[in-house]
């Protein structure tokens, strides 16, 4: 079973998903920096229920792309332990 499927299966049974790794936690500030300009364009005062599908897609794509890029940067600066 793929990793995501395993976590989904556990979640349905009420088992918790693992916490963020140290690297994932370190990537979050980069995601927030990437989201800030998008939120400036959308408007910080708008509730999520007031966002268009396009606005939501921009937020999601920006989040995922920034997270991936930061995780790649972190991984490229990390020594392989073997």
pLDDT tens digits, one per residue of 4-40: 676 677 667 766 657 889 999 999 999 999 999 999 9
Residue 4 placed within a domain: no
pLDDT tens digits, one per residue of 32-64: 999 999 999 999 999 989 999 999 999 999 999
Distance CA 64, CA 38 (A): 13
Q: How many domains does the chain have?
A: 1
Confirm if 67 and 27 have CB atoms less than 8 A apart: yes
Residue 5 placed within a domain: no
Residue 1 placed within a domain: no
* Alpha carbon distances (Å) from 58 to 3, 36, 39: 26, 12, 10
Residue 58 placed within a domain: yes
Confirm if 59 and 38 have CB atoms less than 8 A apart: yes
Query: What's the pTM?
Result: 0.72
Residue 13 placed within a domain: no
Residue 14 placed within a domain: no
78 pLDDT tier (thresholds 50, 70, 90):
confident
Residue 31 placed within a domain: yes
Residue 6 placed within a domain: no
pLDDT at 25: 94
Residue 32 domain boundaries:
19-76
pLDDT at 18: 72
């Amino acid at each position: 079973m793929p990793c995501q499927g395993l976590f989904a299966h556990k979640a349905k049974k009420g088992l918790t998903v693992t916490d963020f790794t140290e690297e994932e936690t370190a990537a979050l500030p980069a995601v927030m920096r990437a989201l800030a300009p998008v939120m400036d364009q959308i408007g910080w005062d708008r509730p999520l229920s007031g966002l268009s599908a396009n606005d939501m897609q921009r937020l999601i794509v920006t989040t995922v792309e920034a997270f991936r890029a930061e995780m790649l940067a972190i991984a490229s600066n990390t020594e392989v332990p073997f």
